[in-house]
Structure 1
Amino acid sequence: MEEADHTDQARAAKRIVTLDELALHNSHESGVWVAISGKVYDISTFLSEHPGGEDILLEAAGTDVTEDFFDLHNDEAQELLPAYHIGSLGLTAKSGTELVTDQSQRHSFLRPDIWQQVTVLEKRRLSHNTILITLKWDHCEEFGLPIGKHVLLRARDPVSGNNIVRAYTPTATKDSLGEVDLLIKIYHKTDGRAGGKMTTTLHHMPLGATLELKGPVGTFEYLGKGKCHVSGKTRQVNRFVLVSAGSGLTPMLQVLRAIARDAEDSTECLLLYGNRHEEDIFI
């Protein structure tokens, strides 16, 4: 067995994977490959073991995930990589500046492959542990977030200097282009629990500070009139039963708002919304 492992490692060391070949391996059927720091990994068998679920891995399948991997994972995750190594990337991935930098060529602000800079415009307290943050970008473009999708938010930890990345669902995009609202539940430090790294960073962040967004991400999208995409498949529904708690309400608000605004959308909705304490309710 040990000899076989050495043989596999030797083959992986010699194999060259092109960008086109990498891009073809982006699903359960084709296999899930990703590139990290110039090396290619087949993580198909790891999907069910991923602590964050397989959806986020499928979103990244077939691409270079170097930056996101080191932002989101610790040394323990890096130690797992050699077991999935299958080759080296033959060509470097395109940099963000090569993809699209001309603002006139873009129709929406969000890009799934580039971190976009935003500024903290306003912070408003909704409850004792919930704030609403308004983020603004320079160019008056549509946000470009499909209904049901979410974004990745990246901030710099003021203590360690490391990047922190978390997924959030905007409550709404502003009608005036160039702004978006994020609902943030603050996890304060207690005797038995450390404070949330991202939420405490956002809580203390001053107006005018900069953050970064990337997206859309997620495997659900509401297309209207009961039609939706779920994990790549189109479904038609007559009724949604929406179950949420705390700030987990925000993805539901997207769908509810879209249905309410469309006079021709007769999709029924039942919302079950829970909180631990009455003071936690923010709507």
Structure 2
Amino acid sequence: MTYIEAIFLALIQGLTEFLPISSSAHLILPSQLLGWADQGLAFDVAVHVGTLIAVVWYFKQTVWELLRGWLQSFSGQHGSDSRMAWLIIWATVPAVIAGLLFADVIEASLRSTAVIATTTIAFGILLWWADRRYAQQQQTLAQLTVKQALIIGVAQAIALIPGTSRSGITMTAGLWLGLGREQAARFSFLMSIPVILMAGVYEGAKLVRSDEVIHWGFLVTGIVVSAVSAYLVIALFMRVIERMGMLPFVLYRLALGLVLILLMV
């Protein structure tokens, strides 16, 4: 890996992690088009750390309120913050279970270009359908139920399949359940925090057991570039999503899926 590759890959991760366009679909393109080698486990951990820093920093006030409310709930103090914190925890459970049961199978069998192209297109169309049919509904997060949070959590678990897009499918589920675009995006971003944290810890544990040589310069580059780019993406997305809708991302997904199909021909 060179510094140019590190910057490019970290930029891809930062720009695509929170947009509903699938980061996994983009990360296979450099190897397909440019012949780049796999970036390695240590770099994967670094960009996960970067995107985690970005989403926590953007929602820092909300994260602090949720954490404080969650801790207070153990002493019997319950409020809107503790309720939302528990909803995020419940929404995380399906992904944890699916990851423990199927992560190795998915890693071994479903990371092909054909699978990623198919899911990129299919779940893009599903996102378009949900946005067109349900975006006018305006249920708020304060009205979200445990059952609805679990449904969004199941959608997040499906995102283990490469090309699905974690943010894309959770926003799709949120829209389908009646959340407005901004509310669906907000819940998707907040529920990404424990998932990205656990993914980083899991990969970090594998890194500790591996013999991979760590290049700290590449790691710092990956953290900084992915953090800055991801923060800017979240900030812009939250500002424009109500006016812009999901159609531009759907069209982009369809085009990207076609590019991946052409690469297989």
- Is TM-score (shorter-chain normalized) higher than 0.5? no
| Greater per-residue strand proportion | 1
Q: What's the TM-score, normalizing by structure 2?
A: 0.26
Q: What's the TM-score, normalizing by structure 1?
A: 0.24
Bigger relative contact order, structure 1 or 2, given CA contacts below 8 A and separation 6+?
2
